Amino acid sequence: MDSTYLELDTSLSFDLNLNSYGVTPKKEYKEFQTEIINSKKKPSVNEEEILLVEKLNQVIEENKKLSELVGVMCEKYNNLKSQMELLSNKNNDQGLVASKKRKAESMDNSNNNVNQVNTDSSSTEEEDSCNKIPKEAIKTKISRVFVPTEASDTTLVVKDGYQWRKYGQKVTRDNPCPRAYFRCSFAPRCPVKKKVQRSAEDRSVLVATYEGEHNHPNPTQAKTGLGPNHGVALGSASIKSSVSGPLVTLDLTQPGSCNDGKNSSPDIKSPAFQQFMIEQMASSLTKDPTFTAALAAAIAGKW
DNA sequence: CGCATTTGACCTGCGC
DNA sequence: GCGCAGGTCAAATGCG
């Protein structure tokens, strides 16, 4: 399988500060502040200037906090990833001990097979061919999407273009915010599930975990010729803009596959790829009208 | 009336 | 074996 990783490390999160462009945010802001002050020589606008500087400082602080948050998230992701690699290595060493999957999941699979038994036998053949490997590692693609929302917004809705039907909600131990469970309802047999929960650390961030792959095109993107999975970027790393803000997608697909347990895409770690990602992020931000409008508003002191 | 959402009950895996 | 926690089911409820 072509599972790919977004190898995010803390350095990348610092790259988000645009350090890679040779310009530190602070420096840029300071230059900007002096520019503003120099450009406005009227003594009557002093108060306005002070106000502007204060607001810019606020933005700097906010940027700092966001960078720290991304850093923490990346750190945790890397920790989890290394743990998962350790676990998968263990499994390989032990001759791929059968995973203790829940009966419900196997029932889901059997239901799928029942549904498809008359029309499609390929799925059962596929399972037979990979009998020795845990189904989870083969069939379940897991990716995580971080969606910035307003903290006051209590709805656990992540607009990704697909149609979701909520089938459950649960409060988990590690997070006081409830977790909502969704199934893709666009196609009746689409196996994709989605869990949405607010981040315990930052209530303004929704964490959507996608499991599985859509067996149909994205309803909203089908017109543009994009194939399945592009809407949530399953199986790939992506940064994209949305109405509510930029989405950061992390693919948590396990390294274990039918072929091997090694990372199949080392290029992602390369500086070139990270540079590409940075450029994509910068491009997304500058192209995002919401962001540019907010920036303009901040400059104009209208926040 | 049909569909989506809510929510308590139930099921299953896991650790002790 | 028991209890806990995560995940799912399905009846009740709400809404257009």
| Residues A156, A163 contacting (CB under 8 angstroms) | no
Cα of first residue to Cα of last residue in chain A, in angstroms, is: 48
* Packing angle of the helix pair A289-300, A271-287 (nearest 10 deg): 70
Cβ of residue A169 lies below 7 Å from strand B: yes
Cβ of residue A164 lies below 7 Å from strand B: yes
Q: Strand, coil or helix: what is A182? A: strand
CA A95 – CA A232 distance, rounded (Å)? 34
| Residues A164, A185 contacting (CB under 8 angstroms) | yes
Separation of CA A172 and C1' B16 in angstroms?
21
Q: How far is CA A88 from the centre of its chain?
A: 23
pLDDT of residue A259: 38
pTM (predicted TM-score): 0.47
Separation of CA A89 and C1' C11 in angstroms?
44
| Mean pLDDT (10-residue bins), chain A, 303 residues | 36 36 43 50 66 84 78 68 58 38 36 36 36 42 78 70 86 85 80 84 82 72 43 38 48 43 40 53 52 54 46
Q: How far is CA A176 from the centre of its chain?
A: 21
Beta bridge partners, A171, equal: A178
